[in-house]
Amino acid sequence: MNATMDDTIDVSIEDARNLLIDLVSIPSPSGEERAAAERLVEFFSANGREAWIDEVGNVRAPADDAVLLTSHVDTVPGEIPVEVRSADEDDVETKVAEKEGEDVLWGRGSVDATGPLAAMAVAAVRAGVSFVGVVGEETNSRGARHLVVDRDQPDAVVNGEPSGTTGITLGYRGFLAGTYVATSESGHTSRPEPNAIQHATEWWTAVENAFDSDEYQPVFERVTAKPVGIDGGISEDGLSVEATLKVQLRVPPSLDVDIVRETAEAELEIGTVSWAEPIPPVMESPRTEVARAFRAAIRKGGGEPRLLRKTGTSDMNLYAGAWDCPMVTYGPGNSDLDHAPDERLSLDEFDESVAVLERVATALRGGDD
């Protein structure tokens, strides 16, 4: 959907901050995003924009598709009292604030990713561009998976995750989750034959060894293999030993997810492993129109752009796999505070990120930046 430049609407700093604080104050763990989604729809409607909640829970606010601003509505679980405090020395040391005395918002999601979400909603209204708040990013990315098959490809995408006001994220590792299951006959523990629990641990040790890398190799360029859950023991009927092992592998852009999966399966001698739908890695060029717009917008605000590669995974991986258009990830906040018990965001940083996003969106629409 294209629009004219006169469809832009000014949103005050006060209204922008109120949206952020409201959204952080509304608990929105994955699967419970409805109340936060309704607050977003209310914000767009109050500013003359059409918006609705789609069948999977995403907030859709279409406008000019010169760029789609999108971030996730959900957070990880955890209650952090929501309050605005003056920044102290620790905030400055951890790069939450530039100086003591700044207003800092504490609360779950302030960094990951309600801060970026609110910043994008405000910038989308100010610049007259498309916006989507997606659900389920912290679990199965159901919102992003639905979006890429349910809407046309935009001209560009800016995905919302914390990078700081000067950080431009171009790359993420891919993600592969699996569940190993094995069963063995029960027997006295004095017997030397390995049981199902040992088979599970032996397989995973072999997988870790298969992806062992030079300690000096950057983490972004390695496969990281992590067990994330294990359950096992004697079956209810007492006739067997059962083991279930849940695992995750992060895949660098230099490798294909299928190759990583095949390597893990090659170490499998006993038991079976099933895999969830993978998320491919992504590495965008720093020379795209979107990346250039961000560098210009950050410099205009007095900052020095930083190009980032992150060792985790985001919805940008899915967008890059489905849409052939330039994209980056950007948003306020120190990513070291993702999911942390002291998650907090400088309101000055939030304000500046809104300004950067507005400049980028305006430039991509062909207006003055």
Instruction: State residue 109 phi and psi, 5-degree precision.
Output: 95, -10
Question: Which residues on neighbouring strands pair with residue 231, listed in sequence order?
Answer: 244
State the pLDDT at residue 206: 97
Residues 158, 359 contacting (CB under 8 angstroms):
no
Are 343 and 222 in a shared domain? no
Q: How far is residue 226 from each of residues 259, 263, 271, 313, 329, measured CA to CA in Å? A: 17, 15, 18, 14, 25
- 369 within a domain of the structure (yes/no): no
- 227 within a domain of the structure (yes/no): yes
Greatest Cα-to-Cα distance within the chain, rounded to the nearest angstrom: 80
Tell me, what CATH number does 254's domain have? 3.30.70.360
Residues 51, 61 contacting (CB under 8 angstroms):
yes
Whole-angstrom distance, CA of residue 280 vs CA of residue 67: 22
Are 223 and 161 in a shared domain? no
**Domain end (from 223, 253, 275):** 275
Are 38 and 148 in a shared domain? yes
State the pLDDT at residue 190: 67
Tell me, what CATH number does 57's domain have? 3.40.630.10
Are 53 and 191 in a shared domain? no
- 144 within a domain of the structure (yes/no): yes
Are 14 and 107 in a shared domain? yes
Question: Which residues on neighbouring strands pair with residue 131, listed in sequence order?
Answer: 61, 69
Nearest of 129, 34, 114 to residue 72 by alpha carbon: 114
Q: One-letter amino acid identity for 247?
A: V
pTM strictly above 0.75: yes
**Which member of 137, 284, 315, 349 is catalytic?**
137
Residues 6 or more apart from 90 whose CB is under 8 A from it? none
State the pLDDT at residue 3: 46
Are 159 and 293 in a shared domain? yes
Are 220 and 312 in a shared domain? no
Are 193 and 211 in a shared domain? yes
Which residue carries 């509304």 as its tokens?
Answer: 26
Say if residue 1 is exposed, middle or buried (CB neighbours under 10 Å; 0-12, 13-18, 19+): exposed
Are 159 and 77 in a shared domain? yes
Per-residue pLDDT tens listing for the chain (369 residues)? 444 556 888 999 999 999 999 999 999 999 999 999 999 999 999 999 999 999 999 999 999 999 999 999 999 999 999 999 999 999 999 999 999 999 999 999 999 999 999 999 999 999 999 999 999 999 999 999 999 999 999 999 999 999 999 999 999 999 999 999 999 988 767 677 899 999 999 999 999 999 998 888 999 999 999 999 999 999 988 889 999 999 999 999 999 999 999 999 999 999 999 999 999 999 999 999 999 999 999 999 999 999 999 999 999 999 999 999 999 999 999 999 999 999 999 999 999 999 999 999 999 999 765
Q: One-letter amino acid identity for 225?
A: A
Domain extent at residue 191: 174-275
State the pLDDT at residue 2: 47
Are 236 and 91 in a shared domain? no
Using DSSP's 3-state secondary structure scheme, residue 4 falls into coil
Are 105 and 10 in a shared domain? yes
Q: Residue 342 is encoded by which pair of tokens? A: 């002291």
State the pLDDT at residue 369: 54
Domain count, the chain: 2
DSSP state of 306: E
Whole-angstrom distance, CA of residue 234 vs CA of residue 237: 8
**Domain end (from 226, 244, 275):** 275
Q: Residue 163 is encoded by which pair of tokens? A: 């990078």
State yes or no: is 74 an active-site residue: yes
**Domain end (from 244, 275, 306):** 275
Whole-angstrom distance, CA of residue 312 vs CA of residue 298: 24
Pairing mode, if any, of strands 327-331 and 157-160? Answer: parallel
Are 18 and 73 in a shared domain? yes
Q: Is the dihedral of CA 321, 322, 327, 329 positive or negative?
A: negative
**Which member of 33, 65, 74, 284 is catalytic?**
74
